[in-house]
Amino acid sequence: AQKVTQAQTEISVVEKEDVTLDCVYETRDTTYYLFWYKQPPSGELVFLIRRNSFDEQNEISGRYSWNFQKSTSSFNFTITASQVVDSAVYFCALSEVWVGGATNKLIFGTGTLLAVQP
């Protein structure tokens, strides 16, 4: 069965600190996608990144970076020099790939609430 675990329920940091959000997944599929979504206080889920199972290259986008390691089934997310606006709930998600290439349902973790204090 597919499962996503975000062991960190809440994290509190002071502005400008670096913070890493952990994500561990389980799947029997050899082809799958991993995602991170951000849920700010306004409530909507904002897509941050998609990574397929064949691409283990780390990715950096501004202050955000992602570390995908198949050997440990982890897809961790690091925010460098955190800002108050980064305060949100962050969800990691996993998806199988069905015929046609488009992803099917997302399996979410329970989310990590990040509070960045000024």
State the minimum distance, in angstroms, from the CB of residue 118 to other proteins. 26
Q: Which of 13, 24, 106, 115 binds other proteins (CB under 8 A)?
A: 106
| CB contact set of 107 (below 8 Å; sequence gap of 6+) | 2, 3, 4, 93, 94, 95
Site string for other proteins, 7-36 (x = CB under 8 A): --------------------------x-x-
Q: Is 44 in the site for other proteins (CB under 8 A)?
A: yes
Can you tell me which residue has the tokens 């952990």?
Answer: 22
| CB contact set of 76 (below 8 Å; sequence gap of 6+) | 20, 21, 22, 23, 66, 67
Binding footprint of other proteins on the chain (CB under 8 A): 4, 33, 35, 37, 42-47, 50, 91, 93, 100-111
